[in-house]
C-alpha cells in the first residue's frame, strides 16, 4: 500500500448539466404499472456527466472517480451482495434499528409534523428500498401517507422498488425520480402540495388524489385533510460517501426544499475499531473488490476504455484524520489506458492509486453539528446496542 496522503480536497462534483425544463420533464414522464417515473437525468445527460467526471478525475492528481458511478446494473447487484456479507454489518444493523423504533418514529412524526404525520415519504439514494418497506408500513398505519418518492440515479432499481411499494400499498401514489442528489434536489416535489394520483395505465397522470384501491391502514384524503408533512429518508450511511462541503450543501438544500416542519431520517455509520471498518470494505469473499473494479468495466463499456482489470488491485484503508474509509484502485504496474470516447490516454505509475470512494464514519456530536448548521433540529438518535450504526430524526426549524 502506498503512503500517499489523500488531500481531502478537490471534490469531484460533476459540472452542471443543463437543468431540464418542466417541458423536458413532462416529455420524459413515463408511466409503468401505476408508477410515475420522472427523469431529471436523461441518458444523454448521464453520458455527458460521466465523460466530464472521468476526464476531470483521471487527469487530476491524485486520480479520483465519484462513487455515484458504481451503480450500474452490475454495481447495484454487487452492492446487494455486499449488504449480505458477514463483514458488512451496516445494512442489517440499520434494519434492526428501524424495526425496533418504527412505531416510536411514526408517533414522533405524528406529533411533530403539520397535518399530523408524514403525507409524503421521499427517499434519497433509495436503491432497492428494501428497508424502506418497514418505514412505509409504519407510516401507512397512521392513515396520513399518500405519496412515496424514491429518488436514485439507477432507473432500473427505481422501477423495481416503485413496483414493490405499489404492490404493498396500492393506494399510494408512487412518484419515482431519476436524478442525482448532488444536482437535482430543487426538482423534488413541493411539500404540502396535493399528491398526484398514480398514472393511469394509458400513461396519463390524473391531477386529483389517488384513486386506486386502498390498502389496510390507508384512508382516502378528504377535503378537510390538512396537507400532511414530508419525511425525507436518507438511509444506508450514503451521506458518508459525500465530503463535508457536499454534505452541507445537500442538508441545506433539503432543508430549503422541505420547508419548516419537514423531517429527515438519516442513517449514519459510526466510528469504531478500524479493523472492523476495513474488513467491511475488504471482505474475504472479494465482493467489494469486484464492486470496486466494476467501475473499470463500466468505463470500458461506456467510454470505450481499455482498462485491464488484472492490472488494478482493490485497496481499502482507514484515514484517521478524516475519519473515513477510502477505497482505491492501485495500478500493479506502470501502464497506459486509452479512453476512445474522450480521446484521452492516461498513464498510471507502478503502485499509483486512484480514489474511488470515501465512506465517512460519524458520532453523535458530528451528526448533530452538521444537522444544526444546515437548519435541522435533531430530536431522536437511535443506535443498536453495540453502537455500530445510528438513525437520526431531525425536524426542519
Ligand atoms: N438506500 C439503500 C441503498 C444504498 S446504496 C440502502 O440503504 O441499502 C447507494 C444508493 O445511492 C444506490 O442506489 C445509488 O444508485 C444511489 N446513489 C449514489 N449516488 C447517487 C447520486 N448522486 N444521486 C442519486 N442517487 C445516488
Ligand atoms: C452506499 N454506501 C453507504 C456504501 C458504503 O458503505 O459506503 C457503499 C459501499 N462501498 C463499499 N461497500 C459498500
Q: DSSP for 314-336, please give it.
A: EEEEEETTTTEEEEEEEESS-EE
pLDDT at 202 over 80: no
Mind listing the pLDDT tens digit for each residue in 264-295?
999 999 999 999 999 999 999 999 999 999 99
Q: What band does 164 get if pLDDT is binned at 50, 70 and 90?
A: very high
pLDDT at 7: 30
Q: Separation of 125 CA from ligand 2 center, angstroms? A: 12
Q: Which of 24-33, 85-94, 205-214, 257-266 has the lowest mean pLDDT?
A: 205-214
Strand pairing report for 147-152 and 30-32:
unpaired
Is the CB of 281 inside a 6 Å radius of any atom of ligand 2?
yes
| pLDDT of 117 | 92
Q: Which atom of ligand 2 is nearest to the CA of 325?
A: 7
For ligand 1, atom 19, name the residue with the nearest CA. 68
pLDDT at 303 over 70: yes
**Residue 51 CB neighbours (<10 A):** 17
pLDDT tens sequence across 92-127: 999 999 999 999 999 999 999 988 899 999 999 999
Helix (H) or strand (E) holding 268: strand 263-269
Report the pLDDT averaged over residues 248-275. Answer: 95
Angle at 101 between CA 95 and CA 107, to 5 degrees: 135
Residues lining ligand 1, Cβ inside 6 A: 68, 71, 79, 83, 91, 125-127, 131, 152-154, 157, 180-182, 235-236, 238
Query: Is 326's pLDDT higher than 70?
Result: yes
Q: Does ligand 2 lie within 6 Å of residue 288's CB atom? A: yes
How many angstroms is it from 124 CA to the middle of ligand 1?
7
pLDDT tens readout for residues 334-365 = 999 999 999 999 999 999 999 999 999 999 99
Q: Whose CA is nearest to atom 11 of ligand 1?
A: 125
Mutate to test the pocket of ligand 1, among 153, 268, 327, 357 (most ligand atoms within 8 A of CB): 153
Question: Which ligand has its closest atom nearest to the C-alpha of 135?
Answer: 1
pLDDT mean over 212-228: 40
Quick count: other Cβ atoms within 10 Å of Cβ 314?
18
Give the nearest ligand 1 atom to 127 CA: 13
What per-residue confidence (pLDDT) applies to 33? 60
Contact 237, 88 (CB under 8 A): no
Share of the chain above pLDDT 70, in %: 82
Predicted confidence (pLDDT) per residue in 45-97, tens digit: 889 999 999 999 999 999 999 999 999 999 999 999 999 999 999 999 999 99
Average pLDDT over residues 177-187: 86
> How far is 176 from 161, CA to CA, in rounded Å?
9
Nearest residue by C-alpha to atom 7 in ligand 2:
359
- The overall longest dimension of the chain from CA atoms, in Å, is 69
- Name the closest-CA residue to atom 5, ligand 1: 127
Q: Is the CB of 68 under 6 A from ligand 2?
A: no
Tell me if 165 CB under 6 Å of ligand 2. no
Calculate ∠ Cα 275-279-281, nearest 5°: 125
pTM metric for this prediction: 0.87
Cα–Cα distance measured from residue 322 to residue 337, given in angstroms and rounded to the nearest whole number: 31
From the CB of 356, is ligand 2 less than 6 Å away?
Answer: no
Rounded to the nearest whole angstrom, what is the distance from the C-alpha of residue 127 to the centroid of ligand 1?
6
For residue 389, the model assigns a pLDDT of: 99
Distance CA 3, CA 243 (A): 21
Q: 246, exposed or middle or buried, with CB in 10 Å at 0-12, 13-18, 19+? A: middle
Helices (H), the chain: 22-28, 43-58, 73-82, 90-112, 132-140, 155-168, 244-258, 274-280, 287-303, 364-373
What span, in angstroms and rounded, lies between the C-alpha atoms of 259 and 191?
7
Q: Report the chain's terminal Cα–Cα distance, integer Å.
A: 46
Q: Is 250 helix (H, G, I), strand (E, B) or coil?
A: helix
Among the atoms of ligand 1, which is closest to the Cα of residue 184? 23
Amino acid at each position: 500500500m502506498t503512503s500517499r496522503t489523500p488531500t481531502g480536497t478537490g471534490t469531484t462534483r460533476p459540472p452542471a448539466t443543463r437543468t431540464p425544463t418542466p417541458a423536458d420533464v413532462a416529455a420524459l414522464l413515463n408511466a409503468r404499472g401505476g408508477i410515475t417515473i420522472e427523469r431529471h437525468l436523461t441518458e444523454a445527460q448521464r453520458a455527458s456527466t460521466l465523460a466530464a467526471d472521468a476526464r476531470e478525475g483521471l487527469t487530476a492528481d491524485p486520480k479520483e472517480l465519484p462513487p455515484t458511478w458504481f451503480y450500474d446494473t452490475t454495481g447495484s447487484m454487487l452492492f446487494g451482495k455486499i449488504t449480505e456479507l458477514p463483514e458488512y454489518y451496516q445494512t442489517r444493523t440499520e434494519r434492526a434499528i428501524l424495526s425496533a423504533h418504527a412505531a416510536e418514529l411514526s408517533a414522533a412524526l405524528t406529533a411533530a409534523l403539520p397535518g399530523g404525520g408524514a403525507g409524503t415519504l421521499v427517499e434519497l439514494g433509495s436503491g432497492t428500498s428494501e428497508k424502506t418497506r418497514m418505514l412505509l408500513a409504519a407510516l401507512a398505519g397512521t392513515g396520513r401517507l399518500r405519496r412515496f418518492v424514491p429518488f436514485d440515479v439507477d432507473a432500473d432499481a427505481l422501477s423495481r422498488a416503485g413496483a414493490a411499494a405499489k404492490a404493498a400499498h396500492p393506494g399510494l401514489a408512487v412518484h419515482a425520480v431519476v436524478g442525482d442528489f448532488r444536482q437535482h434536489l430543487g426538482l423534488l416535489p413541493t411539500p404540502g402540495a396535493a399528491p398526484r394520483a398514480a398514472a393511469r395505465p394509458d400513461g396519463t397522470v390524473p391531477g386529483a388524489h389517488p384513486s386506486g384501491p386502498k390498502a389496510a391502514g390507508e384512508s382516502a384524503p378528504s377535503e378537510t385533510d390538512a396537507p400532511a408533512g414530508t419525511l425525507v429518508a436518507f438511509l444506508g450511511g450514503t451521506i458518508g460517501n459525500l465530503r463535508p462541503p457536499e454534505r452541507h450543501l445537500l442538508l441545506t438544500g433539503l432543508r430549503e426544499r422541505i420547508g419548516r416542519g419537514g423531517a429527515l431520517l438519516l442513517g449514519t455509520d459510526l466510528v469504531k475499531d478500524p479493523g472492523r471498518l476495513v474488513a467491511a470494505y475488504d471482505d474475504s469473499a472479494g465482493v467489494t473488490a469486484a464492486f470496486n473494479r466494476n467501475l473499470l468495466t463500466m468505463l470500458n463499456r461506456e467510454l470505450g476504455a481499455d482498462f485491464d482489470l488484472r492490472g488494478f488491485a482493490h485497496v481499502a484503508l482507514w484515514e484517521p484524520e478524516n475519519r473515513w474509509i477510502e477505497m482505491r484502485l492501485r495500478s500493479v504496474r506502470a501502464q497506459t489506458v486509452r479512453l476512445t470516447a474522450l480521446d484521452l490516454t492516461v498513464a498510471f505509475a507502478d503502485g499509483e492509486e486512484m480514489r474511488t470512494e470515501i465512506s465517512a464514519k460519524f458520532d453523535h456530536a458530528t451528526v448533530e453539528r452538521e444537522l444544526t448548521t444546515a437548519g435541522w433540529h435533531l430530536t431522536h438518535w437511535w443506535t443498536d446496542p453495540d453502537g455500530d450504526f445510528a438513525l437520526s430524526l431531525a425536524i426542519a426549524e
